[in-house]
Structure 1
Amino acid sequence: MDLRQLRSFLQIAESGSLSKASDRLRLAQPALSRQIRLLEAEVGLALFTRHGRGMQLTEAGRALLERVTGPLRQIERSVEEVRALASEVRGQVALGLMPTTSHVLSGRLARRVAAELPGVSLRIVEGYAGHLVEWLQRGQLDVSLLYGPGDGLHLRCETLLHDTLALIGPAGALDGTPVGVDTLAALPMVLPSRPHGLRLLIETAASRAGAPLAVRFEADSFRVIKDLVAAGLGHSVLPPSSIAAEEAARQFSMAPLTPPIRRQILLVRPPDRADTRATGAVVALLKAEVAAMLAAGDWAGASPA
């Protein structure tokens, strides 16, 4: 099995078409078909079913795709990294961000990468914590932010900051007066589904206060959660930084919670591979940007680790 066969396999799997993969790889279709036949012979199973509309993965093909995507990407990036040792920092970096942190951080970080690391291509991937952990473990992400604690994670973790959550309601529903966590049981709530980190954090705090939550709507989309709250369909618990602009425009109202619900935000990397130069450079910029935002008060409700 060689890398050319795996690259060909990935391109056909992604495009669903032998002709499209041929164009992308600039490789004649007969040669591409031969590589796939050799790969199937080595695996001992058919990887695609051929039909008039293109190529469709078999069950074995889907299993292989899941297992080789991350490792192949790491091999290709390692080669790029070695080639770039004598020049400026170059390469691709995949950064995972939770929706609420992405809302605050992604634009500012991207501008710094563009200005200070012109040879680096940054891919920002949004997802809830459970998905981000899975993508890190598969090698599809190089670094990510996650909710803490990180004790049970088999990943390299360091605390980046602490964030304080607040009760969010429709415009005019809250006047800024602190609200007890024990009163959340009386409110219709809009929250992400289990097992996402934000949901678990809120439910744990409510359980400690003896306030089982009445979750009216579940939404695994930060935008949808905000839309439902703005429409008056319930309340949510979010970091103040994630709705700062909307609150200023009076689209939402907000109130502190007592006792406070705080979340630890971790910087997390896979345990089994060292950072590339590009990943290390992006991590350094991310830390510098977070520190600058905290010092300037631009991350509402957050405090240094």
Structure 2
Amino acid sequence: MDFRQLKTFSCVAELGSLSKASDTLRIAQPALSRQIKLLEHELRAELFTRNGRGMVLTEAGRLLLARTAGIVRQIDQIRDDIQSQAGAPSGRVVLGLVPTVSCVLSARLARRTVERYPGISLCIVESYSGHLIEWLHRGEMDLAVIYGPSADLHLSVQNLGRDAVVAVGPRGSGLSRKKQVDMDWLLRQKLVLPSHSHGLRTLIEHAAAKKKLKLDIQVEADSFRVLTSLVEEGLGLALLPPSSVRDEVAGGKLETAAIAKLGPMRELIIASPIDHPGSAAIAAVTALLRSETEACRDEGLWDIKLA
């Protein structure tokens, strides 16, 4: 296997199409197809199933991608760093953001990156912490802002700050009139939460276990937008950072109330793979991430307590 073949394989796997990979790599489709066939011949296994919708990874292809994605990313970054020595940072940075952070930070972070570092190609991936951690371990992502605790993650972590959680309900729920609710009362209500694999669910379940309460979870939603829309429909209450529903509250779609007696606080961390050497571009994006977080706090857009 040579790097060119692995690079081609990785690009086709990511885009699911030879034609899209051809446009991205600026290499003719027949040449890309030949590299894939040579790789399959060497490995004695088919890596893709070809169908009308494009190129779909086989089991062998998924295994190869899992083992080599991080290697391809690191070699690309070595090239980018060497080329960056004579000027501004350049190269591709894949950044993961949990949805409650993405809705506050992603657009302004992308704008600042484009303005200050036009040589950096920033790819923002929004998902829950469980998925982002998996992609970090596989080397498919350079860094991510996720919720802690950071113990046992087997990742390199930096503390970003702590984010408060409030009760969120639909218009007319009375939360805005209450202004503050007890955690005991809240945990006895019908709730809309993510599934068990996500940090917010774990946080709420721990709080309920301490009080020996059984949660009444009306609906589960592993999409932040779906979760807030279910709350709007009156299917249950949610627990979210106030910054993540600021627009919906201002528009009268949702109501919030603080949780009395110091409600749950969520630890936010910047995580990256332990064996990842990093790059000048990653360091630049990390610095921008911190400065934009601080700016959001100073502008009153994010009630975060910085580390």
Alignment of 1:222-237 (within 5 A): 222-237=224-239
Describe the SS at the equivalent of 1:255: strand
Contact conserved, 2:18 with 2:29, CA < 8 A, in 1? no
Contact conserved, 1:182 with 1:210, CA < 8 A, in 2? no
Contact conserved, 2:84 with 2:280, CA < 8 A, in 1? no
The answer to whether the aligner puts 1:275 opposite 2:272 as a matched pair is no
Classify 1:191/1:64 alpha carbon distance in 2 versus 1 (closer, same or farther; 3 Å). Answer: same
User: Take 1:270 and 1:201, find their aligned partners in 2: how far apart are those partners?
Assistant: 24
Q: Determine the structure 2 residue equivalent to 1:288.
A: 291
1:68-119: CA deviation from partner (whole Å, max 9, x where unpaired):
2232122123212212211222111111100001011112212211222222
Alignment of 1:2-81 (within 5 A): 2-14=2-14, 25-27=26-28, 29=30, 31-49=31-49, 56-81=56-81
1:195-232: CA deviation from partner (whole Å, max 9, x where unpaired):
10111111111221232210000001111111111111
Classify 1:304/1:59 alpha carbon distance in 2 versus 1 (closer, same or farther; 3 Å). Answer: closer
1:125-171: CA deviation from partner (whole Å, max 9, x where unpaired):
10101101011111111111111110111111121111110010111
Contact conserved, 2:191 with 2:236, CA < 8 A, in 1? yes
Contact conserved, 1:161 with 1:266, CA < 8 A, in 2? yes
Taking structure 1 as the reference length, the TM-score comes to 0.91
Classify 1:272/1:185 alpha carbon distance in 2 versus 1 (closer, same or farther; 3 Å). Answer: same
Residue 192 of structure 1 is aligned with which of 191, 194, 219? 194
Describe the SS at the equivalent of 1:38: helix
Q: Percent identity?
A: 48
User: Take 2:20 and 2:257, find their aligned partners in 1: how far apart are those partners?
Assistant: 53
Task: Supply the AA of the counterpart residue of 1:204.
Answer: H
Q: Determine the structure 1 residue equivalent to 2:142.
A: 142
Q: Determine the structure 1 residue equivalent to 2:179.
A: 177
User: Take 2:139 and 2:202, find their aligned partners in 1: how far apart are those partners?
Assistant: 25
Query: Aligned-residue CA RMSD in angstroms?
Result: 2.2
* 1:176 Cα offset (Å): 3.6
Residue 214 of structure 1 is aligned with which of 209, 213, 216? 216
* 1:22 Cα offset (Å): 5.4
Any gaps of 5 or more consecutive residues in structure 2?
A: none
Classify 1:27/1:189 alpha carbon distance in 2 versus 1 (closer, same or farther; 3 Å). Answer: same
Alignment of 1:87-98 (within 5 A): 87-98=87-98
User: Take 1:190 and 1:12, find their aligned partners in 2: how far apart are those partners?
Assistant: 38
* 1:21 Cα offset (Å): 5.1
Q: Determine the structure 2 residue equivalent to 1:105.
A: 105
Contact conserved, 1:98 with 1:145, CA < 8 A, in 2? yes
Classify 1:90/1:215 alpha carbon distance in 2 versus 1 (closer, same or farther; 3 Å). Answer: same
* 1:240 Cα offset (Å): 0.6
Task: Supply the AA of the counterpart residue of 1:217.
Answer: V
Describe the SS at the equivalent of 1:193: coil
1:248-297: CA deviation from partner (whole Å, max 9, x where unpaired):
22211111113411111011121112221111011111111112222333
User: Take 2:163 and 2:235, find their aligned partners in 1: how far apart are those partners?
Assistant: 25
* 1:63 Cα offset (Å): 1.6
Contact conserved, 1:8 with 1:36, CA < 8 A, in 2? yes
Describe the SS at the equivalent of 2:149: coil
* 1:124 Cα offset (Å): 0.9
* 1:34 Cα offset (Å): 4.0
Classify 1:180/1:62 alpha carbon distance in 2 versus 1 (closer, same or farther; 3 Å). Answer: same
Describe the SS at the equivalent of 1:94: strand
User: Take 1:75 and 1:226, find their aligned partners in 2: how far apart are those partners?
Assistant: 40
Q: Determine the structure 2 residue equivalent to 1:304.
A: 306
Describe the SS at the equivalent of 1:153: coil
Stretch moving more, 84-93 or 222-231: 84-93
Count residues in correspondence: 303
Taking structure 2 as the reference length, the TM-score comes to 0.90
User: Take 1:236 and 1:266, find their aligned partners in 2: how far apart are those partners?
Assistant: 22
Classify 1:186/1:281 alpha carbon distance in 2 versus 1 (closer, same or farther; 3 Å). Answer: same
Any gaps of 5 or more consecutive residues in structure 1?
A: none
User: Take 1:135 and 1:42, find their aligned partners in 2: how far apart are those partners?
Assistant: 27
Contact conserved, 1:184 with 1:206, CA < 8 A, in 2? no
